[in-house]
């Protein structure tokens, strides 16, 4: 049984569907759709899914699995041309690439591709903007415009993998624009597609979901782990953007804390599978000099961590378009790392990548320019 229903309107004619709509379909959805719309059994739905996600294109004429069925090939290629959205902009700092897709006339959807020596990481967005307005985050300044659909999430991955030739793509992190757990249906549907061994075959253990502390989403994700153990949701990584364990400070930095306070947040984490296993839970902690690195702040962080199996990611503040904090010196970050390390916590500092092009943590999110419809058409 799928995680959700109604991803696509199965009563619509294929001609009424958006060209990207095919990217909305999990394997099971696609099998059912092929049966309803074209009267085909699982054989052709299976072949279409494998072809699409292993090759990144819909040229079925040369696929031997569709030999002898030219009418079906013609119908599929007509009904689903699979034109990915325009790439509005590309900005690079070294090997780090930020690209924006033409998904909305008002707000850019920004995605960051980070090549490593042996593999690449893709930082994906889940919403247009964000409603929680964290004081150190550029995305929050936009407010929440809307959720991204499954196909729009998948379009970011397909663009990186096939149009930008990220053939070493391994790690996926939902740490881009938006609060992923507020868009959980589309998020989990996209993860189902990404991890399906008959297609992209990415591994759940290489996928991280970041949350600002949206308790209903954490609890629902916990329930999905129990309800669908075969989907391997329990192997995902959950990242909590904590940033302060002092209620007053956290509320001033992250308004979400006024709705979902720290004591309730910790109870939710303790009930999830991620807080009790190695590498399941990551605590994201921003270093704001004179704010989050003070001794009393560190003491409260250590108290919050009690009972949780978690690793700590220290994130030096990356100034946005209108910075309200000072960027920390390297020594200030190292000092906090040493304190946490001495207390026995696994801790690492996340090095900023793409800061000069506003691609680092907390820097994504800007409104489209008047000529935002321009861009480079990439078809896969």
**What would the DSSP string read from start to end of 146-164?**
EEPPHHHHHHHHHIIIIIS
Residue 361 designated active-site: yes
Q: 109, 123, 347, 361: which is the annotated catalytic residue?
A: 361
Alpha-carbon distance 372 to 351, whole Å? 31
Strands across the sheet containing 87-93: 87-93, 96-101, 109-115, 120-123, 169-174, 207-211, 237-241, 281-287, 310-316, 347-349
Alpha-carbon distance 307 to 300, whole Å? 14
Picking from 66, 114, 64, 105, the residue whose alpha carbon sits closest to that of residue 85 is: 105
Backbone angles phi, psi at 90, to 5 degrees: -130, 130
Alpha-carbon distance 100 to 195, whole Å? 24
Residues whose CB is less than 8 angstroms from the CB of residue 364 and which lie 6 or more positions away in sequence, other chains included: 98, 110, 112, 125, 138, 139, 176, 177, 358
Picking from 31, 28, 33, 27, the residue whose alpha carbon sits closest to that of residue 9 is: 33
Backbone angles phi, psi at 99, to 5 degrees: -130, 150
Alpha-carbon distance 138 to 245, whole Å? 22
Strands 281-287 and 169-174: unpaired
Q: How many CB atoms lie within 10 A of CB 298?
A: 17
Evaluate whether 139 touches 365 at the Cβ level (below 8 Å).
yes
Kindly report the three-state secondary structure assignment for every residue of 193-207. Answer: HHHCCCCCCCCHHHE
Q: Which residues are catalytic?
A: 361
């Amino acid at each position: 049984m799928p995680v959700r229903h109604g991803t696509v309107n199965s009563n619509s004619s294929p001609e009424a569907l958006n060209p990207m709509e095919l990217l909305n379909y999990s394997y099971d959805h696609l099998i059912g759709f092929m049966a309803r719309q074209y009267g085909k059994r699982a054989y052709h739905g299976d072949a279409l899914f494998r072809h699409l996600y292993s090759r990144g294109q819909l040229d079925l004429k040369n696929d031997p699995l569709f030999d002898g069925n030219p009418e079906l090939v013609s119908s599929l290629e007509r009904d689903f041309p699979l034109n990915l959205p325009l790439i509005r902009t590309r900005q690079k700092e070294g090997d780090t690439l930020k690209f924006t897709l033409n998904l909305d006339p008002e707000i850019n959807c920004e995605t960051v591709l980070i090549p490593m020596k042996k593999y690449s990481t893709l930082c994906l967005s889940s919403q247009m903007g964000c409603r929680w307005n964290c004081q150190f985050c550029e995305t929050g300044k936009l407010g929440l415009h809307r959720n991204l659909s499954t196909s729009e999430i998948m379009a970011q991955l397909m663009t990186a993998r096939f149009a930008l030739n990220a053939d070493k793509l391994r790690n996926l992190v939902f740490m881009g624009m938006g609060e992923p757990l507020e868009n959980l249906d589309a998020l989990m549907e996209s993860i189902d597609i990404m991890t399906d061994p008959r297609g992209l075959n990415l591994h759940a253990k290489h996928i991280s979901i970041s949350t600002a502390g949206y308790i209903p989403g954490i609890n629902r994700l916990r329930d999905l782990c129990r309800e669908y153990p075969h989907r391997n949701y329990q192997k995902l990584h959950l990242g909590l953007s904590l940033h302060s364990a002092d209620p007053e400070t956290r509320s001033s930095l992250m308004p979400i804390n006024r709705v979902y306070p720290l004591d309730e947040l910790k109870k939710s984490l303790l009930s999830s599978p991620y807080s009790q296993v190695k590498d399941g839970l990551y605590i994201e902690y921003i270093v704001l000099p004179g704010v989050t690195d003070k001794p009393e702040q560190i003491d409260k962080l250590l108290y919050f961590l009690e009972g949780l199996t978690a690793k700590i990611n220290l994130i030096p503040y990356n100034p946005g378009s209108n910075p309200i904090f000072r960027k920390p010196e390297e020594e200030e970050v190292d000092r906090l790392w040493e304190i946490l390390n001495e207390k026995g916590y696994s801790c690492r500092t996340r090095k900023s990548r793409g800061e000069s092009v506003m691609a680092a943590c907390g820097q994504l999110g800007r409104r489209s320019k008047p000529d935002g419809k321009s861009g480079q058409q990439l078809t896969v």
